[in-house]
């Protein structure tokens, strides 16, 4: 089969052909970019936190009428309240471990500052997020210690967030160690938090995401530091590791037990007691929503484009009814007629995807200039091109088969 008659026929339907070409090109450009955005969002929400996320609960609560001063008496009183809560939680059935834990990955509450090699805050620094907690923090979160030791009870300080005390020992995540000590000899070295007093690195954990998922946190997304400090304040947070599958039961029991110890506290359902899977779901709700929206839009777009191809090809089949009959009468087989429309569509879609790839690249460049977007990898482009060609073939099949069913006898009927 030669393409010459197809080209000749297409030349007589310039308007219809260019409409389908444009529609395919635009659809390709948009679907390609949208799918890429979806891919990026999915990649984002699949990032590991570095902690063992199953069977983990976070409790955040505030005491009513607790002292709020920075004097020693107030601090001791607040610390006593907190230790009572920790003991209460520890005594619950199905609880494996409990830690004082100011923040967790994805929870959004972040304290961050620069860690440097000299007290003047000069030279090599690493912006890092602080995780305050006690000696149970690392093991409760299930962080993997790759060098050094864990905190012990003797390391633990307790003060308010406003205190200027600095803990003499810290555990850092590997990215912080690698940044400050590229030779890999971070263990036992001295660093300065906020350019103040020295702290010694006593342990290194493999991976720990910072608590924020906002884009300003991206440059230091895994720069985390564990500080052996039970933070005292009118509010306190705890992390609980439960026995497998007992999350819901522990959440229920923990609420009852804490209110029994001290009913004067604020611990609402919305953020008081949450399982880590809830925290994860909340942190990435917007990303998931955007991905679903983009996905739906893509599907509808593909549907609309396919419908457009079906509609216009059907029209052409109807218009060429007699010619098809004549061709059949002159010896063309059904398969020839079918192939004619399929090749015609392939040519139209071919022009469409070439134009579409150019548009997609242009759109991608524009998005990169205006929004946070990366360059679309070749893989996405190729996949989109193949998908569009396949869509064209699928859409053309029904009208093309109808065309191939036109009986040769049509040629003999009234002109």
Give the interface with other proteins as residue ranges (CB under 8 A).
15-16, 19-20, 22-23, 26-27, 29-30, 34, 37, 62, 64, 68, 70, 161-162, 164, 194-196, 214-216, 234, 266, 282, 285-286, 289-290, 293-294, 297, 300-301, 304-305, 307-308, 311-312, 314-315, 318-319, 367, 370-372
Q: Classify 312 in phi/psi space as left (phi over 0), alpha (psi -120 to 50) or beta.
A: alpha
When the beta carbons of 297 and 383 are compared against other proteins, the nearer one is 297
Give 185 or 269: the residue with its C-beta nearer to other proteins: 269
Least separation in angstroms between CB 266 and other proteins? 6
Q: What is the DSSP letter of 375?
A: P
Nearest Cα neighbor of 264 from 71, 74, 84, 103 is 84
Q: How far apart are CA 356 and CA 381, in angstroms?
A: 10
Distance from C-alpha of 308 to C-alpha of 317, rounded to nearest angstrom: 14
Shortest distance in whole angstroms from residue 405 CB to other proteins: 19
Tell me how far, at minimum, the Cβ of 195 lies from other proteins, in Å.
8
Helix 285-319 to helix 334-370 angle (10° resolution) is 150
For other proteins, the closer CB: 145 or 410: 410
**Phi and psi (nearest 5°) for 257?**
-65, -45
Measured CA to CA, the distance from residue 83 to residue 238 in angstroms comes to 11
Closest listed residue to residue 237, CA positions, set 336, 81, 103, 66: 103
Q: Quote the least distance from Cβ 301 to other proteins, whole Å.
A: 6
Q: Where are the beta strands (DSSP E) in 110-218?
A: 111-116, 125-132, 145-148, 157-159, 169-173, 190-193, 198-205
57 DSSP β-pair partners:
240, 275
Contact indicator for 376, 364 with CB cutoff of 8 Å: yes
Q: Count CB-CB contacts under 10 A for residue 371.
A: 8
CB distance 127 to 197 below 8 Å:
no
Closest to other proteins by CB, 3 vs 266, is 266
Q: How far is the CB of 84 from other proteins (least distance, A)?
A: 20
Measuring CA to CA, which residue among 111, 58, 138 is closest to residue 220?
111
Interhelix angle 334-370/14-45, nearest 10 degrees: 50
Collect all residues with Cβ–Cβ distance below 8 Å to 80 and sequence separation of at least 6.
none
CB of 196 to other proteins, least distance (A): 8
* Least separation in angstroms between CB 244 and other proteins: 29
Q: Which residues pair with 125 in a beta bridge?
A: 116
Of 16 and 408, which CB lies nearer to other proteins in the complex structure? 16
Least distance between other proteins and beta carbon 160 (Å): 9
Q: Which is nearer to other proteins, 267 or 346 (CB)?
A: 267
Question: Which CB atom, from 16 or from 142, has the smaller least distance to other proteins?
Answer: 16
User: Cα dist. 92→81, 86, 138, 363, 379 in Å?
Assistant: 17, 10, 20, 57, 52
Q: Which residue has the tokens 């989109």?
A: 384
Rounded to the nearest whole angstrom, what is the least distance from the CB of residue 207 to other proteins in the complex?
24
78 with 256: CB under 8 angstroms? no
When the beta carbons of 70 and 76 are compared against other proteins, the nearer one is 70
CA distance 62 to 46: 32
Pick the closer one to other proteins by CB: 335 or 374: 374
- Residue 83 CB, shortest distance to other proteins, in Å, is 22
Closest distance to other proteins from the beta carbon of 242 (Å): 26
Q: Which two tokens stand for residue 265?
A: 């506290």
Tokens standing for residue 63: 């005491």
Closer by beta carbon to other proteins, 51 or else 66: 66
Which is nearer to other proteins, 57 or 395 (by Cβ)? 395
């Amino acid at each position: 089969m030669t393409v010459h008659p197809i080209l000749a026929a297409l030349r007589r339907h310039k308007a219809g052909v260019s409409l389908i070409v444009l529609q395919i090109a635009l659809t390709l450009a948009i679907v390609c970019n949208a799918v890429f955005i979806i891919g990026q969002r999915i990649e984002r929400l699949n990032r590991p936190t570095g902690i063992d996320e199953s069977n983990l609960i976070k409790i955040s609560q505030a005491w009513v009428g607790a002292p709020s001063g920075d004097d020693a008496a107030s601090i001791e009183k607040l610390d006593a309240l907190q230790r009572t809560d920790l003991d209460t939680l520890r005594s619950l059935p199905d609880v494996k471990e409990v830690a004082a834990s100011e923040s967790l990955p994805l929870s959004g509450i972040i304290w961050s500052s620069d860690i440097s090699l000299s007290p003047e805050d000069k030279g090599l620094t690493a912006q890092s997020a602080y995780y305050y907690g006690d000696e149970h923090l690392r093991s409760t979160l299930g962080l993997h210690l790759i060098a050094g030791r864990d905190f012990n009870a003797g390391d633990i300080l307790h003060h308010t967030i406003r205190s200027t005390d600095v803990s003499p020992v810290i555990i850092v995540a590997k990215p912080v160690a690698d940044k400050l000590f590229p030779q890999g000899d971070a263990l036992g070295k001295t660093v300065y938090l906020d350019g103040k007093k020295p702290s010694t690195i006593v342990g290194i954990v493999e991976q720990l995401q910072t608590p924020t998922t906002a884009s300003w946190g991206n440059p230091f997304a895994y720069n985390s530091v564990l500080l052996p400090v039970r933070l005292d304040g009118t509010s306190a947070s705890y992390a609980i590791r439960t026995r497998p599958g007992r999350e819901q039961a522990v959440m229920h029991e923990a609420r009852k037990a804490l209110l029994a110890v001290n009913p004067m506290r604020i611990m609402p359902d919305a953020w008081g007691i949450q399982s880590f899977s809830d925290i994860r779901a909340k942190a990435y709700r917007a990303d998931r929503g955007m991905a679903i929206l983009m996905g739906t839009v893509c599907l509808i777009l593909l549907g609309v484009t396919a419908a457009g191809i079906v509609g216009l090809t059907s029209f052409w089949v109807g218009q060429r009814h007699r010619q098809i009959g004549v061709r059949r009468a002159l010896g063309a087989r059904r398969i020839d007629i079918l192939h004619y429309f399929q090749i015609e569509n392939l040519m139209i879609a071919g022009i469409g995807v070439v134009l579409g790839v150019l548009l997609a690249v242009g759109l991608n460049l524009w998005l990169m200039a205006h929004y946070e977007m990366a360059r679309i990898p070749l893989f996405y482009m190729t996949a989109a091109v193949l998908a569009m060609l396949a869509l064209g073939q699928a859409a053309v099949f029904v009208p093309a088969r109808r065309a191939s069913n036109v009986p040769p006898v049509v040629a003999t009927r009234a002109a």
